[in-house]
Amino acid sequence: MGTLRARAGYALLAAVPLAVIALFFLYPVGGMLARGFWVDGSFAPGQVVPVFERSIVQRALWFTLWSAAAGTAGSVLLGVPVAWVLHRLRFPGRDLLRALTMVPFVLPTVVVGVAFRQLLVSSGPLGFLHLDGTAAAIVAALVFFNVSVVVRTVGSFWAGLDPRQGQAAAALGATPLQVFRTVTLPALLPGIVSAASVVFLFCATAFGVVLVMGGLRYANIETEIYQLTTQELDLTGAAALSVLQVAVITVLLLLSARAHRDTPPVTRTADLLRRPGRRHLPAFGWTLLVLVFLMAPIVELVVASLRTADGWGLGNYRALGTTGERDALLVPALVGLRNSFEIALGAAALALSLGTLVAFLVSRRPRRAAARRVVGVFDAVFMLPLGVSAVTLGFGFLITLDRPPIDLRTSPALIPIAQAMVALPLVVRTVAPVLRSIDPRQRQAAASLGAGPVRVLLAVDLPTAWRALLAATGFAFAVSLGEFGATSFLARSDNPTLPVVIYQLIARPGEQNFGMAMAASVILAAATALVMLVVERLRVGSMGAF
Amino acid sequence: MPRPSVQSLRRSALAARRLRPLALAASLLLVAGLVAGCGSSSSAADSKTLVVATHDSWAMSKQVMADFEKKTGITVKIQPQGDAGELTNKLVLTKGDPLADMVYGIDNTFASRAVDAGVLAPYTPPQQPASVSRFAPGKGDGAGQLTPIDYGDVCVNVDDSWFARHHLSPPASLGDLTRPAYKNLFVTEGATTSSPGLAFLLTTIAKEGSGWQDYWKRLMANGTKIDAGWSDAWDVDYTAGGGHGDRPIVLSYASSPPDTVDKQTGKPTTSALLNTCFRQIEYAGVLRGASNPRAAKEFIDFMLGKQFQAALPEEMYVYPVDTSVKLPADWARWAKVAPNPVTMPPHEITAHRAQWLSTWRDLTSQ
């Protein structure tokens, strides 16, 4: 990237995603923050300081940090062995299991909250654990939602790792544990750190889970912002907390950048998947336990969806073609499913194209330190959407994108765009570590043989990254299908997504509405699993071969 | 076909390397522009479309809405904007450039916030049912701007069949809820996260006076559970709700018992304690700066008409402000309204809300 022209090219490439994120994220969020910092027309940053002195804010900060740390640790602990089993071994039904592990990630928190709590209340099947309303229940729910992120991100990173180094170590007498500690783990670390930082942000901004599971005894920064914005209209307080969120993310990103700064390139091979043997039993047992944990609330949902006023049956599913008991919905529930799919297609396409571009750019390793710093900042900017409150973003859309030329408040395009902003960091975090792990000498070799940049991309980057790209596609689609926070602030009555429909159903009285909410959740889960299966099947033939 | 020489290949590769990023970037910029461009479909106001901002609980039969559209030629677009608090705050934040032409669903606990912020335009329907004046907001609380449409009573509900099975007499008053006999039996909603929850807090403040904080301490000491929203309480914790939970006392509405009618006996298995109720009144109003205020006024008039008023109980579980409208049979029998509900002037609620809520949170989030 020596020539001025090439540098201009990179700058232009960077300008596209930057322009999008500036318009659809930084500007709306900035607008909300400005409302908080300008009190009665004058800039009053001093007003913000007392907010941090409120005891409830300090408690919320502390709870945010420790619950997110615990949720992240739990997700990594549960997820990494599963990632290995589902991405390094070959056995029948593996693709189905991969798809199933993705399901919790998209389920609406309102429904999972209810399903979880029906298991945990003292009259429920797990009532003897006395977990209902405890912090442990919140952390368990956080883990439930985020295990799939670890399985998918780490799995797609792990899948192509060359096993020969480990085999060599084993041949030299290393025990399996030593091989894992000294060979596999160091190679895998960038993938794990990447996944963990995403999960931490998800946990730190968890909203529905904390409200529903915590029974209001616990608050994190996100629920505080929600209350201050939607109930108390204390914009100064909300702005202060949003700034706090950004500060927490910045620290986190600095730490994670340090962790993957000096990681060596990794050699990759084509699929060398092993058949499982007896020595893999512990890992399989672990995977089975994790799956039971992930499926328990889903089974609870299925059971509840089959329970109707006249006994067991499919009545709730048939009712999805209607607007519910006493017109609970403005459109039939199935219209929500169609909307969700259309919106998810748009959101996934946008997130994937922008995210791949960003991943490509942040995976470059410029020689000059200043340029590296620029890349680092660029990388961080695209992680922000995960760490900033959906409430702030949603309200920001309302107050900033309201006049021509960008009067988007009532536009149906706003929802896929907002969802793409949320999915973008996941795409980057799935694809970038893989691109980064490519030995730059491979690209140099290709270029010296006469390949242009596009040819290098196709011949070197793509064969290595296609798996991660597939994983990212699935992710982006799933994020969009399940997104509720920002969507609920934007969704219009004539185009609600399925999670919005489910929320409307569950908030209304009537046994059938409750049953329909459960049935719609099961449909959402099934649709997600199906999409994941299809994505897994999209083996782009020659690309995987060498 | 002659093979290109190595030199020419390298030269073209070099040229491509310089140009490709530029070309790629330019085309991506174009795509982004298109995405943004096709989004900005104009929401040009035409006189035949009415946009109504409501709370999430909106529901109305298609027949009633179709009749309005047929009669007036106006197409109604309903836009739910969250609960009453979120709805009000969105209106305040978009003041001057409103999201809709009119609002329905601001209640007496949030009315004066909207009125003080000046988001409403003056309007009083020329013809009103006689009973409406009983529910109209006072001076400074939106008189001349907000028109009452319906009301509901937020009351403690008890699962009578559970108490019968356990040979226990159900509680009869707010005070009973703190008695040891009812330990761990009551589930309510958070005052900061749910509008019935806020109503219940206001009930305790109105009934217990300066002792309300002590009352909440006793309530919490007696094992009261606080859920985020109505559906969490009703669907998970309430014994008579969808999830068949383990708490037979719940905070809900005076209109809830008809939902628990037993198919065999034809009677509800639960009842509302009518001396524990707070009256919520829901209003409609024209938004200042609306692009179609004429249609908004027509719709508000229609909302006070017999047809709309009669449909309210079945659709939105609220009582019509026109008390001459006939209620559904099971409502007339099983969903009596409270004779002396707690009420509180909106400006008093607005003046103290922040302080009451923060005190309440300190009392309940130990």
Please report residues of A whose CB lies closer than 8 A to that of B101.
Answer: none
Q: Do B193 and A216 touch (CB under 8 A)?
A: yes
Distance from the Cα of B138 to chain A's closest Cα (Å) equals: 23
CATH of the domain at A434: 1.10.3720.10
| Beta pairing, strands B249-253 & B186-189 | parallel
Task: Say which of B29, B39, B80 has its CB closest to residue A16.
Answer: B29
Domain count, chain A: 1
The answer, for B30 touching chain A at a CB cutoff of 8 Å, is no
Q: Domain of residue B141: give its range.
A: 49-151+279-339
Whether B10 is covered by a domain: the verdict is: no
Domain identity same for B209 and B357: yes
Closest among A353, A358, A483, A351 to A421, alpha carbons compared: A351
- Quote the pLDDT of residue B18: 44
Contacts of A421 (CB under 8 A, 6+ apart): A21, A24, A25, A385, A393, A486
Residue of A54, A63, A118, A327 to mutate, testing the B interface (most B Cβ within 10 Å of its Cβ): A327
Among A118-127, A356-365, B106-115, which is the least confidently predicted range?
Answer: A118-127
List all residues of chain B from 303 to 322 with a beta carbon under 8 Å from chain A.
Answer: 314-315, 317
The verdict on B222 and B174 lying in the same domain is: yes
Give residues 224 to 263 of B whose Cβ lies within 8 Å of A: 225-232, 234-237, 242-246, 256, 259
**Of the candidates B25, B85, B237, which has its C-beta nearest A121's C-beta?**
B237
State whether B237 and B359 are in the same domain.
Answer: yes
Cα distance between residue A281 and residue A287, in whole Å: 10
A492 chain-B contacts, CB cut-off 8 A: 79
CB < 8 Å to A409, chain B: 43, 99
Chains A, B: CB contacts within 8 A come to 214
| pLDDT confidence bin for B313, thresholds 50/70/90 | very high
Residues A490-502 pLDDT 10s: 766 667 889 888 8
Whole-Å CA distances, B218 to A217, B182, B190, B191, B223:
17, 12, 16, 17, 9
Q: Do B232 and B359 share a structural domain?
A: yes
Question: What percent of chain A shows pLDDT beyond 70?
Answer: 93
Residue B38 lies in a domain: no
B188/B205 same-domain check: yes
Q: Does B20 touch chain A (CB under 8 A)?
A: yes
Is the Cβ pair A6, B78 closer than 8 Å? no
Confidence class for position A1, pLDDT limits 50, 70, 90 = very low
For chain A, the first-to-last Cα distance in angstroms comes to 27
Give the whole-angstrom CA distance, residue B163 versus residue B160: 5
Chain B residues in contact with A506 by the CB 8 A cut-off are: 231, 235
Backbone φ and ψ of A474, nearest 5°: -60, -45
Return the DSSP state at B268.
B
Mutate to test the interface with A, among B20, B46, B231 (most CBs of A within 10 A): B231
Which of chain A's residues have a Cβ under 8 Å away from the Cβ of B90?
395, 398
Whether B77 and A509 lie within 8 Å, measured CB to CB:
no
Query: Does some domain include residue A459?
Result: yes
Question: Is the CB of B193 less than 8 angstroms away from the CB of A494?
Answer: no
Does the pLDDT value for residue A295 go beyond 50?
Answer: yes
8 A C-beta contact, residue B112 and residue B141 = yes
Q: If you average pLDDT over residues B149-163, what whole number do you get? A: 96
**A-chain residue closest to B190, CA distance:** A216
Distance of CA A136 to CAs A52, A67, A87, Å?
26, 9, 30
Q: Can you give the CATH number for the domain in which B57 is found?
A: 3.40.190.10
Interface contact flag, B13 A509, Cβ < 8 Å: no
Structural domain contains residue A461: yes
To the nearest whole Å, the CA of B20 is away from the closest chain A CA by: 7
**Would the CB atoms of B86 and A411 count as touching at under 8 Å?**
no
Name the band, by pLDDT with cuts 50, 70 and 90, for residue A2.
Answer: low
Mean pLDDT confidence for B237-261: 91
* B 114-173 near A (Cβ less than 8 A): none
Option in B56, B190, B236 nearest A121 (CB): B236
Is A2 a member of any domain? no
Q: What single-letter amino acid sits at A24?
A: F
Cβ of B228 within 8 Å of Cβ of A216? The answer is: yes
Average pLDDT, chain A: 84
Taking contacts as CB-CB distances below 8 angstroms, the residues of chain A near B9 are 450
Q: Classify residue A30: in a domain, yes or no.
A: yes
Residue of B nearest to A10 (CA): B21
Contact across the interface for A353 and B31, Cβ inside 8 Å = yes
Alpha-carbon torsion angle A39, B89, B344, B286, nearest 10: 120
Q: Per-residue pLDDT tens for A372-396?
A: 888 888 888 888 888 888 888 888 8
- Per the CB < 8 Å rule, is B193 touching A414? no
pLDDT computed for residue B366 by the predictor: 59
Residue B285 domain-assigned?
yes
Nearest beta carbon to residue A453 from set B17, B227, B237 = B17
> What single-letter amino acid sits at A182?
T
From chain B, pick out residues whose CB is under 8 angstroms from the CB of A414. 39
Lowest mean pLDDT among A175-184, B129-138, B180-189: A175-184
Q: Read off the pLDDT of each residue in A279-308 and give the average, rounded to a whole number.
A: 90
Is B228 within 8 Å of A492 when comparing Cβ atoms? no
Q: Do B164 and B200 lie in a common domain?
A: yes
Let me know whether B232 and B123 are in one domain: no
Instruction: Please indicate if any CB of chain A lies within 8 Å of the CB of B359.
Output: no
Distance to chain A for B132, nearest Cα, Å: 25
Residues 6+ apart with CB under 8 A from A48: A36, A37, A236, A239, A240, A243
**Cα separation, B61 vs A82, whole angstroms:** 49
Task: Give the pLDDT score at A261.
Answer: 62
Residue B253 lies in a domain: yes
Is B316 among the domain residues? yes
B251 CA: distance to closest CA in chain A (Å): 13
Same domain, B244 and B187: yes
Q: Both B81 and B227 in a single domain?
A: no
The domain total for chain B is: 2
Of B21, B78, B364, the CB nearest to A216: B364
State the residue range of the domain holding A238: 16-41+49-268+279-544
Burial of residue B15 (CB within 10 Å: 0-12, 13-18, 19+) is: exposed
- A545: pLDDT strictly greater than 80: no
Distance between A365 CA and the closest CA of chain B, angstroms: 17
Confirm whether B199 is domain-assigned: yes
- Number of residues that this document lists for chain A: 546
- Asked if residue B138 is part of any domain, the answer here is yes
Do B95 and B183 belong together in one domain?
no
What residues in A contact B26, CB-CB < 8 Å? 12
Per the CB < 8 A criterion, the answer to whether A523 and A332 are in contact is no
Query: pLDDT tens digits, residue range B43-79?
Result: 445 678 999 999 888 889 989 999 999 999 999 999 8
Assigned domain for A72 exists: yes
Domain assignment of residue B85, yes or no: yes
Q: Grade residue B335 by pLDDT with cuts at 50, 70 and 90.
A: very high
- One domain for residues B271 and B359: yes
**Cross-chain Cβ contact B82/A230 below 8 Å:** yes
Residue ranges of E strands in A121-196 = none
Residue B146 and residue B159 share a domain: no
